[in-house]
Amino acid sequence: MVLTRAQPNTSLILKTLFAPLLIPIFITGLKRIRLVIHSSLSESILPYIVGSSTSRDLWLTLEKRFAAITISHLLQLKACIQNLKKGSLPMLDYLQLIKHTVDSLAAAGDPLDPTDFIAYILNNLPAEYDAFSTSIRVCFDLVDPEELHGLLLSEEMALDQRASLNNDSSAHAFHNSSQTNNKAFSFTTNSHPSSSTKRNSNKPFQSSNNSSSSSSFRPPYHPSNYVNSRIKCQIYNKPGHTAITCCIRHNHSYQGHAPSPRPTSYSPTTHNPIASYTSYPSIHPYHTSTWYANTRATNHVTHDLSSISMPSDYTGSEKVVVANGQTLDIHHSGNSILYSPSSKFSHKNILHTPHATHNLLSIHKFFNDNNCHHIFTLSACFVKDNLTGKILFRGHTEGGLYHIHLSSHKTSPSCLIITASPSLWHQRTGHPSAQILQQIISKNNLPVLGKFKDLSFCNSCPLGKQTKLPFLSTPCISRSPMELIHTDLWGPSPTPSLCGFHYYIIFINDYSKYCWLYPLLTKSAALTAFIQFKIHAKKLLDHKIRTLRCDNGGEFTNIAFQQFLIANGINQQFCYLHTPEQNGLAERKHRHIIELTRTLFAQSNLPLNYWVEIAQTLLMGAHVIPG
């Protein structure tokens, strides 16, 4: 019979003892998992899980159907995003389809690069978005997908408004041509307004004047009489139609009439990078929304879906409760970045309720998202940064409410102002010196506001260009030999000496500037070399060493070296960290030794192993040569 010391199976013992307690808990947990999975599925997926009795079977069924990553699945998703066209779809639905496909690619393990994502969106747009796509492609900075979402929604709104204006003008032109007596489709008319025209004289794009217009140009698709219309073609410079409907829009041989030059005091004739600062700014209108600051609101609420970047459908059951007790349904939610003229603010978890009458800004969430605070006065409100105290935005009051005007799109002025002060030109041109700045201004004829002598002190220049101040040379303070010794260690040498030395240490007498050199095998031999030097100096000059000046190297700060100095009554002076200039006498001696050693090597063509012998020979000659 053999006895063994085998360990008992602890897990088996625990399962046996606690099985009556663990099994009901385990079964309840599985039921809860299955309930959670069921509640998170949409109605279109429920038929696929019929017959799954356990939570594991349910999960495996879903994984097999939706998470199986195959080459064909990836190719199908990529082909889908390449062939997806906007067509007649609304822009929001088109962007959501692309986002759904991109999310599917990411879930399959092949996420799409943001640059490719933007390229797919722009390439599949209709022809009327060509100008918008070109403006995005020529940008120097990559546009964020969220920012592109808001820009596309704004462009769609602008195109819809333009199309409605064109339809109204076309319908009005047909109405005027039906009232004229001229049936030759001519543009020369002499018609009188009817009573119906007089009644509708306040409607846009309808004329009530007895005016006449003549033209030899006859558009093929609009043979109507555009009498005193407020629309004017930007190409042909004639009223009655816009540039997008002009028939000579694609006629490249037509040169048109040059617009009258804009009055300006500076107009460069050649391309000049500096002169680009002085051109006139082009102002681009952008959509600005008004938000009302509310201290009781727990979330940001908006009725404008374009204020949300990449919105998603709201699947919760919560509703927005307004002041009168009514509840409003939530259709979408999402995040956005809103811009002021000088700052941008992050808005997280914005709720979209179409039936809301105003945009509500939750002050509490605005503080948390942007690290700022509000100051409310009787006539205005201010948004200040918590760290710097800088005013980021200023709102105003109207009807007892605080209005905050923010834009959902960033505006980029094409240039800066025309004239600027010398200090501003100093900042724009990269902080040059005053002399160079004066040359730049005079050579490029830059318009300066004020006189150049008004150039103020730039606080940033000394912070970025500062260097060490020069160290003044101190006179000799020693009154007797060995009163002050300067020491420093050099090495390691790339080539060992004949005896295998890699370092050397020097000791300089401050009184006579006499120098001793001791070669070292390692840096830790510095203490041995100092003991030899102390004995040699005592016998040679009959003076004790009082002070030793060195840097903060480990060979001088170790405990053995310091205990030896204390035992012999020698004071030790350290220079400040990263300030070798305070030990400048030893540092300059190193430079003198190394330079002359390289010079003698170049002259004698000796092997590099003789560097110790050459250095000692140089020191002996330096002590003999006067000066």
Secondary structure letter of residue 519 according to DSSP = E
Of 613 and 280, the one with more pLDDT: 613
- Is the pLDDT assigned to residue 213 strictly greater than 50? no
Q: What is the pLDDT of residues 347-390, one digit of tens each?
A: 788 888 888 888 888 888 888 888 888 788 888 888 888 888 88
Burial, 241: exposed, middle or buried (Cβ in 10 Å; 0-12, 13-18, 19+)? Answer: buried
pLDDT at residue 590, rounded to an integer: 93
Greater pLDDT, 485 or 336? 485
Average pLDDT of span 545-556: 93
Going by their DSSP bridges, the two strands 547-550 and 484-490 should be labelled as: parallel
Residue owning tokens 């160290």? 471
pTM above the 0.95 mark? no
Mean pLDDT of all residues belonging to the chain:
75
Would you say residue 325 has pLDDT above 70?
yes
Q: CATH topology for 288-407?
A: Cathepsin D, subunit A; domain 1 (2.40.70)
Cβ 101 vs Cβ 128: under 8 Å:
no
Name the token pair of 345: 């603010």
- Strand 332-339 relative to strand 344-352, pairing: antiparallel
pLDDT at 250 (0 to 100): 54
Give the pLDDT band of residue 507 (cuts 50, 70, 90).
Answer: very high
Distances, alpha carbon 232 to alpha carbons 10, 46, 166, 224, in Å: 91, 58, 12, 15
Of 171-185, 299-313, 443-457, give the lowest mean pLDDT range.
171-185
Closest to 363 in 3D by CA, of 289, 288, 292, 290: 292
Q: How far apart are the C-alpha atoms of 481 and 486, rounded to whole Å?
A: 12
CATH 2.40.70.10 occupies which residues in the chain? Answer: 288-407
Q: Which residues, at least 6 apart from 33, have a Cβ–Cβ distance to it below 8 Å?
A: 55
Q: How confident is the model at residue 162 (pLDDT cuts 50, 70, 90)?
A: confident
Cα 128 from chain centre: 31
In angstroms, the CA 302 to CA 292 distance is: 10
pLDDT recorded at residue 2: 41
- pLDDT score, position 166: 66
Residue 518 has pLDDT above 90, yes or no: yes
Average pLDDT over residues 156-161: 83
Q: For residue range 198-208, list pLDDT tens digits in order.
A: 444 343 333 33
Cα separation, 126 vs 417, whole angstroms? 37
Classify 362 as helix, strand or coil.
Answer: strand
Question: How much of the chain, in percent, has pLDDT values that exceed 70?
Answer: 73
Could you tell me which of 503, 517, 507 has the C-alpha nearest to residue 486? 507
Average pLDDT of span 537-551: 92
Upstream peptide bond of 492 is cis (omega within 30 degrees of 0): yes
* CA-only gyration radius of the chain, Å: 42
If one compares 547 and 467, the residue with the highest pLDDT of the two is: 547
pLDDT band at 318 (very low <50, low <70, confident <90, very high): confident
Ranges in the chain annotated CATH 3.30.420.10: 484-624
Cα separation, 71 vs 62, whole angstroms = 19
Burial label for 81, CB within 10 Å (0-12, 13-18, 19+), is buried
Q: Give the count of beta carbons closer than 10 Å to the beta carbon of residue 156.
A: 19
Name the token pair of 325.
Answer: 């007790």
Query: Given this model, what pLDDT does residue 198 score?
Result: 40
> Under a CB-based contact definition with an 8 Å cutoff, are residues 408 and 311 in contact?
no
pLDDT band for position 182 (50/70/90)? very low
Structure tokens at 327: 């509840």
pLDDT digits (tens, 9 = 90+) for 587-612: 999 999 999 999 989 988 889 999 99
- Nearest partner of 292 among 379, 372, 368, 404, judged by Cα: 404
Percentage with pLDDT > 90 across the chain? 17
The band of 546, judged by pLDDT with boundaries at 50, 70 and 90, is very high
For domain 484-624, the CATH superfamily is: Ribonuclease H-like superfamily/Ribonuclease H (3.30.420.10)
Using the predicted structure, report yes or no on whether residue 468 has a pLDDT greater than 80: no
